[in-house]
Chain A
Amino acid sequence: MSKTLDTLLPGEMGVISHVAGTGPIKRRIVDMGLIAGTVVRVQKYAPLGDPIEIKVKNFNLSLRKMEASTITVKPLEGTVQ
């Protein structure tokens, strides 16, 4: 079952299957290493619920839910710490 990144809860992990969208925003997402096959883990939501912080390739990245919703992930089971 596929979900978009913004719907994962803190502590949940997933594998990126597709990055939608176009233009410089997509380019920036890809430049940061968010490409198909990459494992991401949602660290937390900001105090006001947006943006979210994720862990990817051993670094932490924050992005808004708007951008996160363009990233499709396949959730990995049993990953809540």
Chain B
Amino acid sequence: MSTACMTVALAGNPNSGKTTIFNNITGARQHVGNYAGVTVERREGFRRFQGQDLLLVDLPGTYSLTANSLDEIVARNVIIDEKPDLIVNILDASNLERNLYLALQLLELERPLVLALNMTDMAEKAGIRINSDVLRTRLGVPVVKLIGNRNQGTEELLQTVVESSKKTTYRPFSIDYGMKIEAAIAEVTEALQNLTNVKFPMRWLAIKLLENDGEVGASLLNIDGGSAVAMIVGKVRNKTAVMLGEELEIAMAEARYRVVADIVAEFVDSSGRREQTVSDRIDRVLTHRVLGLPLFFGIMWLLFNIVFTVGEIPQGWIEDAVKGFGDLVSANLAEGELRSLLVDGIIGGVGSVLTFLPSILLLFFGIALLEDTGYMARAAFVMDRIMRAVGLHGKSFIPLLLGFGCSVPAVMGSRTLENKGDRMVTILVSPLMSCSARLPVYTLLIAAFFHESVAGSVLFSIYFLGISLAILMALVFRKWMFPGASEPFIMEMPPYHLPTLRSIAIHMWERSILYLKKAGTLILAASILIWFITNYPANVEYSKDYDAAKVQITEQYDEEAAKPLLAQLDQEQAGEKLALSYAGQFGHFIEPVIKPLGFDWKMGVGLVSAVAAKEVLVSTLATIYSVGDAEENAQSLQEALAADAAFSPLVAFSLMVFTLIYSPCLAVLAVVRRETNSWKWPAFSFVYSTTLAWVMSFVVYQGGRLIGLQ
């Protein structure tokens, strides 16, 4: 038995249940990263089966292997460049005609392949009976039947995978494209014989060149003698197209579908197939002409309520636990710099982030549920007309919705948009969807400055403002920066599925880990940095001699009367110390710029540090105010803010508006950089959003004052 690790790539259509099968095989042993140079997510996992180590790569889901989208290019480049030992093609058995179209293209790549027919239960329910033996003989590759969401057939699939790896030969496969196209392929193949250093299979290369595949065509020009071949290809293409009366790539795609239809007719018995499925009946309600939109908004409303109302309960527990832990550390450490660093800097900072984990878990639970059930595609369907009005694609709705969770997956999710203009506009406006990291800031400020009865409305107004600005900016960017046609809206409406707990759990786990990694490292680093710049320099020159003043008070008054006076003095001293610290110096430096927005230097410090991650604003304020508040029993941050004269409900609202709009956090800027492959776009994103934030906060604060608000 071979001991070397075997690489297995999973390929398949979107919605073929590929990721479920990947999860079934690898369990939690997986890693999510990115393909080099592009931000298409690369999911890898490990499995040891019968002594054989398997490295599984979950390729992006695609319908075809043309160069139409990034996903398709990535999928086929993995197959060609990385040469996985085996490709497993997952097919939705209830939809074989379209799924086999991809299978044929994988077969044309002439790599070892196993076909896995998934959702065979659904197929049978729909009256489709598949004779897999016929398929096996016809295509010359192993065929396994399985039911991914019940974890049936996983062992058999792995068995087949391991067995196939021992085979050294496999049957070459080719499609008969018909006389005229075959003549063209022969002509191009002959021209290619003169080339050396070709990494693709010859026939495949000829086919792709004839299909006018941009990616393959460009790589041909890099080979010696490639341009001569390109000339021949051009001539053959024109000649054949004239003969066929159709563009060559279309004729070839049609030929593939005809081959598929022949195969399907041989081994699939769909005589019992029902026209209208369960999904269609569900859709009669969910995408109903009249009910569709209200139901959509209702579902969104429900999602938000689950996240924010249910999330509050465990949030309270975590808050208590963190506070208890801080108290415990305080009780066991001598007063001094170490205790201050641990309690105020580290525990306080990370704790304030941890408390929002429940909301984030619930949000991703909701999003995973929408995605896995298949409702997300319906959401795009009912929303497309509206999204188009702002120059976006219905599909843009999905990354924008993700933006409410975190702008990082939102920006990454925009890769599903094939049109560059659509993608760029979505990337630029998705940070305006208020992400969950901004929520801690809102809840803190709302609790401190607004009555419970209006809290919900205030929060809603912030989210609403974000959405409105996103629409406005999308229109502006579309018109001035990315004019041109939008991507065609051609989207599959997958059948509804009952999602598995496992895949939802994995989804939640993945996203929460992303958030916690930020919390664990970036936020911790930021907390310590903020603690440092708010506590140092240690020796500052005060405006008066506090020690002498304290001695004087103790001498003049009895103990009872001296206490409040001493406390006041302590607070004054701490405040002055903070004002003189590095943070205070910087805050004072930028104060003139942010003063028209109603902000003082403390908020300035918070906003600057919160570029690291928006929730840092809360931990910064916590640090600033616990430093500024020297009472024995530290008041909660809320009360401290409410007590600060620099704040008012209007200032708090202006601060929320600014937090909503200004520069996306570092993680998002980094993702924008990778997604656009240029520093220009993150720089632009930073500048435009910060400018917009300043203008909006200015309007809110100055306008509010004009009409007499405080």
Contact = CB atoms under 8 A, between A and B. Distances in A.
A47 B292 contact: yes
A70 to B, nearest CB: 10
Given A30-B250, A47-B382, A53 B288 contact: no
A35 B288 contact: no
B68 A24 contact: yes
A51 B257 CA distance: 25
Contacts of B98: 32-33, 57, 59
Q: How large is the interface on A (under 10, 10 to 19, 20 to 34, 35 or more residues)?
A: 35 or more
B126 A58 contact: yes
Contact of B63 (A32, A55, A63): A32
A58 B95 contact: yes
Per DSSP, chain A at the interface is mixed
A31 B253 contact: yes
Given A29-B490, A62-B489, A63-B488, A48 B66 contact: no
Nearest to A52: B381
B489 A81 contact: no
Contacts of A36: 254
A11 to B, nearest CB: 10
Contacts of A47: 287-290, 292-293, 382, 385
A5 to B, nearest CB: 12
A3 interface: no
B74 to A, nearest CB: 17
A81 B276 contact: yes
Contacts of A60: 279-280, 283, 492-495
Contact of B488 (A19, A41, A53, A64): A64
Contacts of B254: 30, 35-36
Given A67-B488, A67-B490, A62 B381 contact: yes
B97 interface: yes
Given A45-B289, A47-B290, A63 B257 contact: no
Interface in A2-23: 19, 22
Interface string B245-271: 001011001100100000000000010
B120 to A, nearest CB: 14
B490 A28 contact: yes
A8 to B, nearest CB: 16
A1 interface: no
B488 A28 contact: yes
A32 B385 contact: no
Contact of A57 (B95, B247, B253): B95
A28 B492 CA distance: 12
Nearest to A29: B490
Interface in B370-394: 377, 380-382, 384-386, 388, 394
Interface string B455-495: 00000000000000000000000000000000011111111
Contact of B489 (A31, A43, A58, A67): A67
A74 interface: no
Contacts of B386: 48
Given A48-B385, A51-B394, A58-B126, A63 B68 contact: no
Interface string B289-302: 11011000000000
Given A50-B385, A53-B381, A22 B247 contact: yes
Given A28-B68, A47-B292, A58-B97, A63 B385 contact: no
A50 B393 CA distance: 12
A51 B493 contact: no
B363 to A, nearest CB: 26
Contacts of B377: 62
Given A57-B98, A59-B95, A62-B489, A31 B66 contact: yes
A44 B288 CA distance: 8
Most buried by A among B68, B279, B394, B489: B489
A80 interface: no
A46 interface: yes
Contacts of A59: 95, 98, 492-493, 495
B393 to A, nearest CB: 10
B19 interface: no
Interface of A: 19, 22, 24-33, 35-36, 41, 43-51, 53, 55, 57-64, 66-67, 81
Give the 4 A-B CB pairs with smallest separation, nearest first.
A48-B385, A47-B292, A60-B493, A57-B97
11 contacts: A26-B250, A28-B488, A31-B101, A35-B253, A48-B386, A57-B97, A59-B495, A60-B495, A61-B490, A62-B493, A66-B488
